């Protein structure tokens, strides 16, 4: 049996008096497409933060393939193969589109310390950045300031940034949030076209997108896992229905 891509055991995150995430355990197999769903406030984003290292979990352990990353900082986890997008668009607004991807490429690269040579003397890096932009359909906007991009285009860029770090596991936090239907379609197509050597964990609100993409679904409610199963199983489950559409 191959090593699981992500293994969470008893993850908890407490903020003062609030237990945002409680005792979450889950295992994601390599190459799997796992979708995390749950109502607002269920703790999905907080869970992501704990796993990628944006915040420190108050309890539990996290394994990325065969490495225990619980004690490692976010930068280290990224270098080990975790990539992520944010729920609220987090790109480099005051830089150009291509500079954004260049930074993502430099994150794991020793050359980020070079101070005596202008960037334009690294054509290879530039090509790689443009290739990364082509993959998400943004190469025509390469030299524009991100500030001038539409929200949808920024979401595409967000994906490009995450991919540029060459992740083994990709964490997508509501990648299609706030997008028009056509933009949503574009982004979903990009995501479903991702190769299987990247494991995917996705938070999604849109049930249709989620169920179309997922191999397995984990349902979170009030910080705890209440169900895990195939998309059909989850969709049919009465407790899930109650949580989502339940008592008014």
Partner 1 sequence: MDRKLAIVLALVCVAIAALLPLVAGPFWIALLTQMFIFGLLALSVDLLLGHAGLFSLCHAAFFSVAAYTTAILQVRYGVSTALAAPAGIVAGTLLGMLFGLSVRTRGVYFILITIALGYIVWGVAYRWSSFTGGDNGVTNVPRPALAGYGLESMTSYYYFMLAVIVLSLLAYRVLVSSPFGLTLRGIKTSESRMTSVGFRPNRHLYAAFVLSAAIASFAGVLYVYYNRFVNPVSASFPISVEAVLMAIVGGSGTIVGPLLGSGIVLALRNWVSSFFELHAAVMGLVFIAVVLWAPGGLVGLLESFRNGRRPGR
With CB under 8 A as the rule, give the number of residues binding partner 1.
Answer: 36
Nearer to partner 1, 113 or 245 (CB): 113
In the set 2, 16, 17, 117, which binds partner 1 (CB under 8 A)? Answer: 117
- Residue 216 vs residues 21, 31, 61, 83, 213: alpha-carbon distances, Å: 20, 12, 22, 20, 9
Minimal distance, residue 104 CB to partner 1, in Å: 5
Contact pattern for partner 1 over residues 159 through 198, marking x by CB under 8 A: --x--xx---------------------------------
When asked if residue 68 is in the footprint of partner 1 (CB under 8 A), the reply is: no
With contacts defined by CB under 8 A, name the span among 105-113, 185-193, 196-204, 222-230 that binds partner 1.
Answer: 105-113
When asked if residue 112 is in the footprint of partner 1 (CB under 8 A), the reply is: yes
When asked if residue 52 is in the footprint of partner 1 (CB under 8 A), the reply is: yes
When asked if residue 104 is in the footprint of partner 1 (CB under 8 A), the reply is: yes
When asked if residue 106 is in the footprint of partner 1 (CB under 8 A), the reply is: yes
When asked if residue 154 is in the footprint of partner 1 (CB under 8 A), the reply is: no
**What is d(CA 236, CA 230) in angstroms, rounded to the nearest whole number?**
10
When asked if residue 56 is in the footprint of partner 1 (CB under 8 A), the reply is: no
Minimal distance, residue 2 CB to partner 1, in Å: 25
Residue 212 and residue 8 in contact, taking contact as beta carbons nearer than 8 Å: no
Binding site for partner 1 (CB under 8 A): 52, 54, 73-75, 78-79, 84, 86, 90-95, 99, 102-104, 106-108, 111-120, 122, 161, 164-165
């Amino acid at each position: 049996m191959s090593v699981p891509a992500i293994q969470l055991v008893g993850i908890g995150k407490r903020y003062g008096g609030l237990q945002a995430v409680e005792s979450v355990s889950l295992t994601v197999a390599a190459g799997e497409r796992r979708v995390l769903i749950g109502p607002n406030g269920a703790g999905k984003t907080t869970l992501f933060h704990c796993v990628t290292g944006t915040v420190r979990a108050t309890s539990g352990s996290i394994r990325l393939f065969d490495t225990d990353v619980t004690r490692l900082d976010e930068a280290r986890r990224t270098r080990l193969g975790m990539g992520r997008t944010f729920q609220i668009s987090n790109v480099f607004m005051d830089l150009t589109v291509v500079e954004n991807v260049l930074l993502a490429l430099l994150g794991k690269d020793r050359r980020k310390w070079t101070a005596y040579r202008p960037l334009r003397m690294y054509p290879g890096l530039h090509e790689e950045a443009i290739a990364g932009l082509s993959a998400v359909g943004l190469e025509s906007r390469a030299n524009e300031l991100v500030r001038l991009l539409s929200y949808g285009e920024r979401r595409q860029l967000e994906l490009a940034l995450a991919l540029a770090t060459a992740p083994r596991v990709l964490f997508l936090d509501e990648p299609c949030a706030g997008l028009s239907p056509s933009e949503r379609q574009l982004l979903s197509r990009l995501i479903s076209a991702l190769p299987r050597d990247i494991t995917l964990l996705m938070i999604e609100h849109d049930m249709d997108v989620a169920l179309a993409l997922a191999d397995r679904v984990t349902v979170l409610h009030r910080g705890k896992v209440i169900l895990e199963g195939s998309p059909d199983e989850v969709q049919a489950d009465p407790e899930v229905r109650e949580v989502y559409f339940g008592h008014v």
